[in-house]
Structure 1
Amino acid sequence: MNDLEYLGGELKAARIKRKLTQTRYSQATGYSQSYVSKVELGVIVPSADYARKCDLVLGTNGLFARLRERLLERGHPSWFAPYAKMEAEAEEILIYRLSTLPGLLQTPEYARALFRAGHPHKSDEWIEQRVKNRVDRRATLEESNPAHLWAIVHEGALHPVVGDRETMRDQLEFLVRATEMPSVKLQVVPFSIGAPPGNDPFSLLDLPTGRSVVYTDTALGGQMSEDEERVQSCRGMFDLLRAEALSPRESIGLIRKIARETHG
């Protein structure tokens, strides 16, 4: 049993101890019965809001909020855990990627191929835990009050065959399906524009508290900053990228075209 399944099992045990059905519990927390079930089965990471409401309904004095924080801290590299925690609480997420697709929009097979390529000597267990952690982060887009994700990817991230042709085709088709979610917008910066306005990938989180945080990956680990000048610089760059990119509809058309070519 992994940490996520343990948390789900403890939530279920506490609910049953209070003699609450999933239906009554979902009404009390304000989340759907499907969401309650996925958390209890260890399928998704509960949101910070859901953990707080669980503690309120169950009278557990912050226990599940603390267990959730511990889960996030242990489930990711130490330098990434603070970002993962804030990402799960963000109201809006702006992402720009050049050579790979955003983690929030990766299929397990695509993520697995990336982790295996980057860590060829790691055990299968290590790889699978990282894949699960990455996929679990998608819960922030699927809950009752999801974060709004606006992702911009360079066309260069769409052509390399990560894993094998089937893995890449499935990944591209998943991108198309993801854009059907009301909370997800996706644009592609095409090769045709030449040099893109931004040469470094970054993520920008807008939090409910009014704080904004920018995150960038480096060879030595991730770096986060709340410095207003850096945040505004990245926000301005994102606006330039959004203007140069294909429209969301044109972007989906290009992704579908590349997915068809990947069949060959």
Structure 2
Amino acid sequence: MVLGKRLRQLREQAGVSFEDAARAIEVTPLTVRRIEKAEVGLRIPYVRELLRAYGVPATEIDDFVAMAREANKPGWWYKFRDVLPEWFKAYVSLESEASVIRLYEPHYVPGLLQTPEYATALLRVGFPNESKEGLARRVDLRVRRQDLLAKPDAPVLWAILDETVLRRPVGGAEVMRAQLERLVDALDMQKVRIQIMRFSVGAHPGAYGPFHHFRFGFSELPDIVYTENLAGSVYYDRPEDVVAYLEVLDRMSVQAEPVNRTREILAELRKEL
């Protein structure tokens, strides 16, 4: 996505039309548009010819091509492609590159904070016909995603969890106790903050369903909001849509319990189990 936008900027700065760019690599103008929108892979010969057509110096072309080769490499999740839904591949990619992840979850603990046992119980319900081996691979994928939080350049993870999340008995009391302990441990991570939306708040602006907001360290990438349903997912990047979700998150962060109360609340809930 970043390199596609950079190609568009270089084309526009050079005053080259879609038609002229298409002639340079002997494709249709639609293909050039798709390259710039990251809807197709970056074919190295195309990239070289486009950059030459835009008057980019040879040394800069080599640097750009090196980045294009890197961008074309499969992500770490490629080996899980047999259990990774097509509509969720973009999510894992965005999650891996985000600098800030803000989310609201009204039903379940977010995947980045789940224990393997909690994840197994959830996925068993979501994929009732899955084989034992397939289920184990789905759990492995979810646990592998959590490596993100241990990286030196880990993103800020700011989660607002509905109280329902912590009271819903997924997998039984023992699994829930371990899951609550996992959340307590997560609070010790420098870049993780968790807030709890109490029942006593009543109606609040995020009650429509779960959603995740991604912010990136690249000026070329806009903020993106992810929502999902039974049939798949929706990704929003129009500024007016993203701002609407951000405003809701800001309002909810004021309504939810302060971060410094989370550890105490989790301890209280664990005692109830």
Do both proteins adopt the same fold according to a TM-score greater than 0.5, normalized to the shorter chain? yes
> Cα RMSD between the aligned structures?
2.2
Residue equivalent to 1:141: 149
| Residue correspondences, number | 205
* Consecutive aligned runs of 4 or more in structure 1 exceeding 2 Å deviation: 61-65, 67-70
Contact 2:80/2:137, CA 8 A, preserved across alignment: no
SS in 2 for 1:67: coil
Q: Find the counterpart in structure 2 of residue 103 from structure 1.
A: 111
Indicate whether 1:66 and 2:73 are aligned.
yes
Structure 1 residue 243 and structure 2 residue 254: aligned?
yes
Deviation at 1:69, TM superposition (A): 6.0
Contact 2:224 2:236 in 1 (8 A): yes
Contact 2:80 2:141 in 1 (8 A): no
User: Shift of the alpha carbon at 1:197?
Assistant: 2.1
- Partners of 1:229 and 1:259 lie apart in 2 by 40
Show structure 1 runs of 5+ residues with no match. 1-55
**1:189: which partner in 2?**
197
Distance in 2 of aligned mates of 1:214 and 1:123: 32
| Aligned match of 1:37 | none
In the TM superposition, what is the alpha-carbon distance from 1:261 to its structure 2 partner? 1.1
Say which SS state the counterpart of residue 102 (structure 2) adopts: strand
| Compared CA separation, residues 70 and 165, structure 1 to 2 (3 A) | closer
- Give the number of the structure whose alpha-carbon radius of gyration is greater: 2
- 1:87-166 equivalences under 5 Å are 87-166=95-174
Does the CA contact (< 8 Å) of 1:151 and 1:185 recur in 2? Answer: yes
SS of residue in 2 equivalent to 1:149: strand
Task: Give the CA deviation at 1:68.
Answer: 2.3
5+ unaligned residues in a row in structure 2: which ranges?
A: 1-62
SS of 2:93's equivalent in the other structure is helix
Q: Once the two structures are aligned, what percentage of the paired residues are identical?
A: 34
Is the 1:197–1:241 contact (alpha carbons within 8 Å) kept by the matching residues of 2?
A: yes
Q: Deviations over 1:97-124 (max 9, x none)?
A: 0011111111111010001012211111
Equivalent in the alignment of 2:215: 206
For residues 213-247 of structure 1, what are the alpha-carbon distances to aligned partners after superposition, in whole Å with 9 as ceiling and x for unaligned? 00001111111111111100010000011000001
Aligned equivalents of 2:84, 2:129: Cα separation in 1: 18
Cα shift readout 1:24-73 (whole Å, capped 9, x = no counterpart): xxxxxxxxxxxxxxxxxxxxxxxxxxxxxxxx9xx9x9469613266177
Shift of 1:202: 0.2
Separation in 2, partners of 1:95, 1:170:
22
1:169 aligns with 2:204: no
